[in-house]
Structure 1
Amino acid sequence: MDAAYLDAFTDRRFEHFARGEVSPDPDRIGAAVRAGRPSQAAPQKVRMMRLVYEYTEKVRRVDLASRYPFHPLIPGARNMKTIKILIMTEGRIHAYDPFRDRVVDIGPAEGTGDRAVLMTDDRRLQLYYGEFSRMLSALNAGHALFNLEFALQQAGCVYRYAPAGSSSETDHLSGIHIRPRAVLRVGPGEASADREPGAVPDAMLFSLTERHFTDRTADQRGEGDVFYHRTLDQQPLNDLMERAGPVLEEAGIKLLVAVNDVRGFAPGYYRLEEGRLIHICPFEGEREDQRLLSEYHEFSNFLGFQFWVFMAFSKTDIKADATPLFMEMGRLMQFISVSMAGENCAVRPLKNVDDAYVRRKTRLPDDMAIGYSAVVFPDRNQAVTIKVPGGR
């Protein structure tokens, strides 16, 4: 994603939306899983792998009233299952078989040392979204990375990032739309100097429990939405900003927040500086949600939203490829999503925002663009949810 791509798919993305074509890539990972055999790895390794898959690929929630009923613990555009995690241990490659809910051995691994490779299979995603799928894929990968790191931490594993292409045994499973996004080497050792991104800070991971992840929801219904008012206490928002602030700053991401219904905050626009929200300007009046949305007005009543976050970045700072930056946005948005689940809030990432309006209200400089946004609102369980327990 170079400068020309960002010019096309940030502020002016609606002008360039187009469907893609049928991918020429065969389903190599799926074929390997179907032909795989149950893992014969040591019991502690199997437990670690099952934990990883329960936080990434396994369906853990069924929303009966949603257009997209089956959900793993990570979100994705149109709820497409684009994330594939391969784990190399004991000289073998392992993957997850979703139909039989088991870890399978799909072939020999090269080299030594345990590692987890996060891959994205974007064949269907690009069919729906065309070139825009490249941005969505990076965001999806970031959401999954956060869960992968949390699972490894819960399993008691030490890990470090390595270059995305450093696990050569994924070459025969890759294609034009199937590719490795991140490699995490499991075990003690020095982190790669050119890793992208760095590990999630412990303060973020230690602030969460399994319940945060299983409660995370976008609370979406097929026929539309109504967000009812339920004022959020001030402290959860302050804590969120304090934990996320240093990581956002290090990544070069500027966080803008439209606060609507949070105790102690006047409704209006804020920017995050040194872990604190600084007021920019008030809303223009009632129904600020309608001014923020670029479309879908007839299907959505976001009147009771609590706050809305926007991640902005400088396009002039992008050297060659913005993919790592968008992966970091996805990873940080996943932290926001699971954190707010602990406050009984739903979080819905959105791209149908009126960027020009947000830019004007937040006084965003011309060289900056909005890369990602999400609305936070009271979880009313509109989707009628059944939770699927983990099977460790």
Structure 2
Amino acid sequence: MKVALIGTTGYGGIELVRILHNHPVFHIQSIHSTRGDAPIWKEYPHLFDINHQSLETINPEKIAQEADMVFFATPSGVSSQLAAQFEPYDLQVIDLSGDLRLKNQEDYVKWYKHEPAQQQLINKAVYGLTEWNREHVENAKWISNPGCYSTASLLGLAPIVKENWIVPSSVIIDAKSGTSGAGRKPTRMNMMAEMSENFKIYKVNEHQHIPEIEQQLNIWNKGMKTITFSTHLLPISRGIMATIYVQLNNEKTLHEIYDLYQQSYENSPFVRIRPLGQFPAVKEVAGSNYCDIGLHLDERTGRLTIVSVIDNLMKGAAGQAVQNANVMNGLDEKTGIDFIPMYP
């Protein structure tokens, strides 16, 4: 299948280039950016003598004639405008931005501060958390790829929320990310002088992934309430750790909870439930599409701690996008992304 990549100069876009370079089914037909015509290796010198393609302008009609699938790796507020131009064409579309995730346009304006996408496009897009929405992904033409924090948080919460084993108002998520999650555009927040030997909280209770997480939790369990969600920047390039605290609403043993998670993800090759007493670290999933989850029950308080780690550019962005593309097209979901994590 021929694939067009739009927004290739960002970290999510260039990660798609890395993955699809060796994908056995998906072939990169063209790469596009608003920056104009230039060889991609001039933007990313590590691609010199590997990828000889040049960035092209975005011409929906030409792309539709040449490609079968389009990945949008453009920023929020951009994807919604571009995606509308592709609706008339018979293409598969996977959007890595947040523009098609929230079903309520008013929520999008409130949290993202942009004009929302057209409602018909939002309704058309299937939320691509494959592990819990596989049937819809299999039959989708348009996919809204989940956010990075949302992916780690929702995979960590799903089994216990769906079984209604927690107090609905008790969810607290303490999440940390590497600086690549802030994008490639230089800002004070991601400067080396600011982040080296530093650790900072940001967007306190205001992160745009909050309504996305709450929306999905309410789909799984209508009784779920609002969450407390804090985000922090780590002095590393990539990786997310979400440490999640929930109060159980009845007496369950840690072994019962562990068995629930094992059973929930037994057919999900990219979710690994760590043995009891072990907890994952971000380096242990770096460069891979894995989500590793560790569990601990405090018997004194009845509070469950869930530790969920992913690579924000892989399972949190490009890797999950290709996983969704695989499932959409009837391929083994591991095709082209079955990477062993990088270590050290």
What is the TM-score of this pair, normalised by structure 2? 0.33
Give the structure, 1 or 2, with the largest relative contact order (CA under 8 Å, sep 6 or more).
Answer: 1
Larger Rg: 1
TM-score, normalising length from structure 1?
A: 0.30
Question: Hey, which of these two has a bigger chunk of strand by percent?
Answer: 1
